[in-house]
């Protein structure tokens, strides 16, 4: 049963990625912890990650 579920999830992910765009049209803009806007360029690959805390 678990292998069928994993196969179904893999097929759904494959279909969703096939329907997506190759490249984002607009630059990605996020806000940092000080509410400054940070823009990621689209002309070269960029790696970013989030560290979240719950208080």
**What's the rounded mean pLDDT across residues 31-37?**
86
**pLDDT given at position 47:** 77
**pLDDT given at position 22:** 66
pLDDT over 90 at 10, yes or no: yes
CA of 51: how far to CAs of 17, 24, 31, 33, in Å? Answer: 26, 24, 13, 10
Look up the pTM and report it.
0.39
H/E element, 9: helix 2-19
């Amino acid at each position: 049963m678990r292998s069928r579920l994993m196969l179904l999830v893999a097929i759904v992910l494959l279909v969703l990625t096939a329907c997506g765009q190759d490249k984002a049209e607009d630059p990605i803009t996020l806000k940092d912890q000080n509410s400054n806007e940070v823009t990621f360029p689209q002309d070269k690959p960029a790696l970013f990650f989030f560290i979240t805390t719950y208080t």
